[in-house]
Structure 1
Amino acid sequence: MGVSYIEYVRERLNNTFDIKYRELKWHDSNIYIVYIESLCDSKFISEYIIAPIMTRGEEYDNVDDIKGRVIVSNSIAEVNGKEEIITSILTANAVIIFDDINRCLCCEVKGFAKRAIDIPITETVIKGPREGFSENIQDNISAIRRRIKSANLKIESVALGKESKTTVAIFYMEDKAPEKLVKTVKDKINDISRNFKDEFIFDISSIEEGLRNKGTPFDTIGYTEKPDVAASKISEGRVLVMADGGSFAITAPYFFIENFQTTDDYTLNKYMANMARFLRWFSFGISTLLPGIYIALVTYHFKLVPSTFLLRMAVFRAGVPVPTVVELLYMIIFFQIIREAGVRLPQPIGPTLSIVGALILGDAAVNSGLASQVTVVVVAITSIASYLVPKVYVAIFTWNVLIIIFSASLGLPGFYISFVLFVSHLASLTSCGYPYLYPLGTLRSFKYKDVIFRGDLDKISSNIFSEED
């Protein structure tokens, strides 16, 4: 006859202290209720599964009657196959095994501890919702469904990771998301499922890695931990992906202009929002290009610098023992070290360290002759400006180094070459089949009222995709 279901379960899940087996008599055979105590609601199992079977089970001699008339559960199904039984137990279900006839029922009885909904740390807002995602995917789905009460909202589920079997949900609006986009995302997720070497997937990061463009420091996949932002992205026609156990969701496609958009842009006054957005664009230009311009001018084209300022710079640099390009590079690296330390340290200490550390570093570098005052000012302005666009600060740092090297090698011609390479790189990127610079360079850019500046909310299209593009 082979190994029975209950024997197989005991063999596969041995040495597991939190698994519970409850044996009940049913006519001339046995019923076993198997569940993991740390994942399931034991009170629910006692009141709505065990108690009904003990009191009314003898009235019926058919498994289907037990399923339909005895057990009280809004989620009950029959499972077949030994591995399916194991998977059901490990995913917070109670499995009811009818021993002699080798049939099983599965009831969803999730009851594990979870974090309360909290304010997101990475997406602070001045005005607007402060609710964030938690690590429980059912709570996160509920948060999105509360905002999008539409039959067109489709949510599909897949399990990733051979051992972890992490639940991954794919959200999209059937009437707005392009079919080719949905297909691209699904195909890439299926590729991850087939080709991912790690048997455990615990977070959305592995999926993001499979979806993003790997040849760039720019993010080509968006992320959010706010349900209102997630709902907004879905309503625009994007696809959103979320994994159980993670508090972040990723969105595709993700465009370059989104690096300069925040939630406050749509909750504050239009003029305040546009002023803040202009500052972000301006800061991005300053933080990316200023070091390259500075090194080109002081190294090759000092005649373009006013004479009085040039004399001051010469005095400041008199005691610095290294070339300007080396001085600039190590000061940028030191500031990045301080920034990274501020991010990794606990919240009360981190911001203080960043400010105090930068002040001490700048003052010590000047007093010791390792850097001139002008270089410290240039690096400080560059670093502060990059704080306004935190989503691209890694890309800014990467391109800073490249632009500085080109500018130090060829002067302003080298700067122009590196700038053209920078723009060409952006233009070459794609996000799930869509140009990264979209809608710039398309007919849509003249109609879409939320590109560089934000238009009136009633004129902003709710669907970013168009057949005209």
Structure 2
Amino acid sequence: MRINRKSIRLKKKKAENEKVQNTTPTLEKILESNLELIKQIFNNDETIRIRKFQNKFFPSANFCVIYIDGMVNTELVNENIIQPIMKNNLTEEISTRHLLEELESKIIVSNRIEKTQEINKIVSSIISGDTVFLIDGYDVSLMIESKGWVTRAITEPESGKVVRGPREGFTESIIVNLSLIRRKINNPDLKFKFKEIGERTRTKTCVCYIEGLALKEVISELERRLDEINIDGILDSGYIQELIEDAPLSLFETVGYSERPDVIAAKLLEGRVALVVDGSPFVLTVPYVLIEGWQANEDYYSKFIFASFYRLLRTVSVFIALGLPAIYLSLSCFHQEMLPTRLLLSMSASRQGVPFPTVITLIGMLLVFDVIREAGIRMPAPIGQAVNIVGTLVLGQAAVEAKLVSAPVVIVTAISGMMTLLSPTTIGMVILVRYFLILLSAFLGIYGYIFGMILSVLHMLNIRSFGVPYMLGITSVKNHNGQDIWIRSPWWSMTLRPKLIGAKNLVRQTRNKG
């Protein structure tokens, strides 16, 4: 006899849910008892507000609203809840036999009202910025939407400034962010699925996708990984990004992110899935492939010739930032015969009097550059600019004059550092891989650099992002996958979406015949 283990687990889980529901505290019909219970839950919380009131035409009924100061729009509570109940003649306008239902449908003004008996739902509603309405003699409450906290205005994001393109950026409000996405994709196929993550913070998240474009396998896998998260709190989307990525120990990110609604909308239109997190202006996208780190949203707003040139420039800059220090170290220390004689003599003359080996000075200058870059980011903008200028010019010149480093090392550091900044989303990966290549080159010369690059490529070939190869389309030249990789083809030729990402519906546009 075969035992169906799945059905046994489902029955066990159902029994546990029923047990939890039976032990969930609920409201009583006595108003004072309910208020005492809520006061105990919010003990020592001076922001909780409890307002009791009556109707002069119906004094036998006792009403009460509960909310948190600073989380609600108090004008809305006063004008749409308290004032209509206090001033209207309830005995003439409604049936007092079904007082709660009549107030909900005829007196209280709100676009969203929910009923509940469960204390846990009431507490969660109060914390999220709603107003709870209670009546003496009823064991049911109304949860009335009244959120009114202050949010940051929609501005251009600092992490993605553009010369041409939309200036809107996401804020910390999940509802505002969803509305920005909805304005870009005005289609009923755009779907939103909400989830709460975090045992204590109960952070609201939303899975966004376009039905008919996004693969169901990717959506279900993302939801599965979100359901497996068991953490006290989520304060930013970065928490979730680290918890759901495919290769958490890898230097290469497998989950994308952006502050720009136009970028997220473009990725959704290609068949990707987005995750919006309340309290974070960065929206996550999956699957994520390597080439996305070199793409910019402005590529699609400029003429394809200029966009292709600048994309190639960013791509080349990544390879220069990665390889230039390691190649310089290899040539200057191991393979001098590969350098022109005059250049070799010039480099040797510049090293006269420098007490440290080239590898030490190179790593030291790169560390100094990274410290200056980090300091410029963390400090206020005017001070950060001054720090960058002073650190770059004064310290570099002083180090050369003091014979602590050679001039070529400063030049190599400056070029490699500037090239790193051209692709902001790949900075972390480039910095660490660069140090790895330098260390290999310090022992094996140019062979160490080549070996390190081969290891990096093999590692990337083994990475998947929600089932999609991380290096998708890198070697594509002939098929449509290569149209938006190294260069950006004209819009009239990009008729298909990327394979494996938009495989459910590859057709992006149809070209007019004739």
Fold-level similarity (TM above 0.5): yes
Q: 1:20 aligns with which of 49, 61, 68?
A: 49
Give the drift of 1:60.
2.6
User: Partner residue of 2:70?
Assistant: 38
Find the aligned partners of 1:154 and 1:436 in 2 and give their Cα distance: 26
User: Partner residue of 1:73?
Assistant: 110
**Contact conserved, 1:49 with 1:72, CA < 8 A, in 2?**
yes
Give the drift of 1:17.
2.2
Find the aligned partners of 1:305 and 1:386 in 2 and give their Cα distance: 25
Find the aligned partners of 1:291 and 1:178 in 2 and give their Cα distance: 42
User: Partner residue of 1:88?
Assistant: 125
Structure 1 stretch displaced more, 338-347 or 62-71: 62-71
**Structure 1 stretches lacking a partner, 5+ long:** none
Find the aligned partners of 1:380 and 1:44 in 2 and give their Cα distance: 57
TM-score (norm 2): 0.86
The yes-or-no answer on 1:208 pairing with 2:241 is yes
Amino acid at match of 1:68: S
**Contact conserved, 2:215 with 2:502, CA < 8 A, in 1?**
no
Amino acid at match of 2:152: R
- Partner of 2:450, secondary structure, is helix
**Contact conserved, 2:477 with 2:483, CA < 8 A, in 1?**
no
Amino acid at match of 2:453: F
**Contact conserved, 2:271 with 2:502, CA < 8 A, in 1?**
no
User: Partner residue of 2:220?
Assistant: 183
The yes-or-no answer on 1:275 pairing with 2:309 is yes
**Contact conserved, 2:436 with 2:452, CA < 8 A, in 1?**
yes
Q: 2:492 aligns with which of 455, 458, 462?
A: 458
- Partner of 1:237, secondary structure, is coil
**Contact conserved, 1:430 with 1:436, CA < 8 A, in 2?**
yes
User: Partner residue of 2:392?
Assistant: 358
Give the drift of 1:379.
1.1
Q: 1:238 aligns with which of 272, 281, 284?
A: 272
**Contact conserved, 1:211 with 1:432, CA < 8 A, in 2?**
no
Find the aligned partners of 2:395 and 2:459 in 1 and give their Cα distance: 34
**Structure 2 stretches lacking a partner, 5+ long:** 1-26, 507-514
User: Partner residue of 2:138?
Assistant: 101
Structure 2 counterparts to residues 246-395 of structure 1, below 5 A: 246-395=280-429
- Partner of 1:156, secondary structure, is strand
Structure 2 counterparts to residues 438-449 of structure 1, below 5 A: 438-441=472-475, 446-449=480-483
- Partner of 1:159, secondary structure, is strand
- Partner of 2:471, secondary structure, is coil
Amino acid at match of 1:395: M
**Contact conserved, 1:169 with 1:242, CA < 8 A, in 2?**
yes
Deviations 1:391-417 (A, max 9, x none): 112111111111111111112222221
Structure 2 counterparts to residues 426-441 of structure 1, below 5 A: 426-441=460-475
Amino acid at match of 1:13: F
Q: 1:6 aligns with which of 35, 43, 46?
A: 35
Q: RMSD between aligned alpha carbons? A: 2.0
Give the drift of 1:87.
0.6
**Contact conserved, 1:60 with 1:66, CA < 8 A, in 2?**
no
Runs of 4+ in structure 1 over 3 Å off: 1-4, 25-29, 56-59, 441-448, 466-469
- Partner of 1:39, secondary structure, is coil
TM-score (norm 1): 0.94
User: Partner residue of 2:3?
Assistant: none
Find the aligned partners of 2:194 and 2:295 in 1 and give their Cα distance: 30
Find the aligned partners of 1:144 and 1:446 in 2 and give their Cα distance: 27
Structure 1 stretch displaced more, 67-76 or 11-20: 11-20
**Contact conserved, 2:314 with 2:423, CA < 8 A, in 1?**
yes
Find the aligned partners of 1:254 and 1:56 in 2 and give their Cα distance: 61
Give the drift of 1:101.
2.3
Q: 1:168 aligns with which of 183, 187, 205?
A: 205
Find the aligned partners of 1:317 and 1:169 in 2 and give their Cα distance: 58
Give the drift of 1:24.
2.7
Give the drift of 1:136.
1.3
Find the aligned partners of 1:463 and 1:352 in 2 and give their Cα distance: 45
Structure 2 counterparts to residues 133-144 of structure 1, below 5 A: 133-144=170-181
Give the drift of 1:121.
0.5
User: Partner residue of 2:95?
Assistant: 60
- TM-aligned CA distance change 1:68 to 1:265, over 3 Å: same
Give the drift of 1:448.
4.6
**Contact conserved, 1:176 with 1:463, CA < 8 A, in 2?**
no
Find the aligned partners of 1:151 and 1:56 in 2 and give their Cα distance: 43
**Contact conserved, 1:93 with 1:107, CA < 8 A, in 2?**
yes
Find the aligned partners of 1:446 and 1:33 in 2 and give their Cα distance: 60
- TM-aligned CA distance change 1:99 to 1:441, over 3 Å: farther
Give the drift of 1:445.
5.3
- Partner of 1:146, secondary structure, is helix
- Partner of 1:122, secondary structure, is helix
Give the drift of 1:105.
0.6
Deviations 1:171-211 (A, max 9, x none): 0011100011111111111111xx22xx2222211111112
Amino acid at match of 2:493: K
Find the aligned partners of 1:295 and 1:46 in 2 and give their Cα distance: 72
Find the aligned partners of 2:316 and 2:132 in 1 and give their Cα distance: 60
Find the aligned partners of 1:246 and 1:393 in 2 and give their Cα distance: 21
**Contact conserved, 1:202 with 1:246, CA < 8 A, in 2?**
yes
User: Partner residue of 2:83?
Assistant: 51
Find the aligned partners of 2:136 and 2:482 in 1 and give their Cα distance: 64
